[in-house]
Structure 1
Amino acid sequence: MRTRSLCMRTRMMHEARMRAHGPITIAYPDPFWNALVVCVTCFAGALLLDARRDLFLWVVPLLLSALFAYLVADTFLTVFQAVVDVLFLCFAVDTAHNDGSPGREYFMDRSLMEYVKNSEKAMAELDRKRRRKEHDDGKEGRESHPAAASAV
């Protein structure tokens, strides 16, 4: 695997992930959290700087602290996103190469395996409810139109 190019290895890892569990939806932190950190920082800074009456121009330190807060929050969330990606990629490779039998044990933590199994069950339950709702909506549509019901 070391002799292959990065693109080839990335494609192989993607295929391993798709074989293992299909598309895995990961909830990434959205820009809302960055904005929240900036707003909290600006609010706290405004409260602190309001008490200092000797400052002539208090907007500049407030804007600098907001910029710094955004950079720190964005860096932290980017690293968090990369860590989550790597963990799920390792999970996919582990499930692709190992089956849990003696000699081919899983390397993943048991809690991660249980989390993925529980999320698969929850997604299956949501799909079943969605299909049932679509099926029920289809029945209601036929019952509300007598001509369509008699034609069926």
Structure 2
Amino acid sequence: MSQAVRTTERQVTGDLYAEVRTFYARQMRRVDALDIEGFAETFTEDGEVLHANGELAKGRQAMVAGMRAALPRYRDIAVRHWFDHLLIEPAGPRDEELRVSYYSLVTRTDRAGVVTFEPTFTVEDVLVRRDGRLLTRSRVIHRDGPAAV
């Protein structure tokens, strides 16, 4: 599925850009370390993730249950999520809600050091500020595919 290219109407400050990048670095380190509960805590209580296969996880409990069910897939491998090309767009006053779009690459490294790649994805998040910290309210994951010519 090809993704429409959006242009940023209003740029965020360098400090906010760094805060968002740091948020994702911490969030992905939790998931890569299989800290399922810690990862779920980076979402709002009613947060949701719509996976590329159409599966919807609504709420932290559903996220944790889905991730627990997938744990056998991660036996004897190290997973790393790589995010880049972030577009950060303020969606409300005082940057309390942000729309963030980015590319995601996931690598899997086995005990022998052999690296394999998952398909690439484009991800669309809505981040909100609660009690001074960023949380993910929603995430939509699109599997990349060729653009229509």
The TM-score by the shorter chain falls in which range? under 0.3
Task: Give 1 or 2 for the bigger CA radius of gyration.
Answer: 1
Q: Return the TM-score normalized by structure 1.
A: 0.26
| Bigger proportion of residues as strand | 2
| Bigger proportion of residues as helix | 1
Q: Return the TM-score normalized by structure 2.
A: 0.26
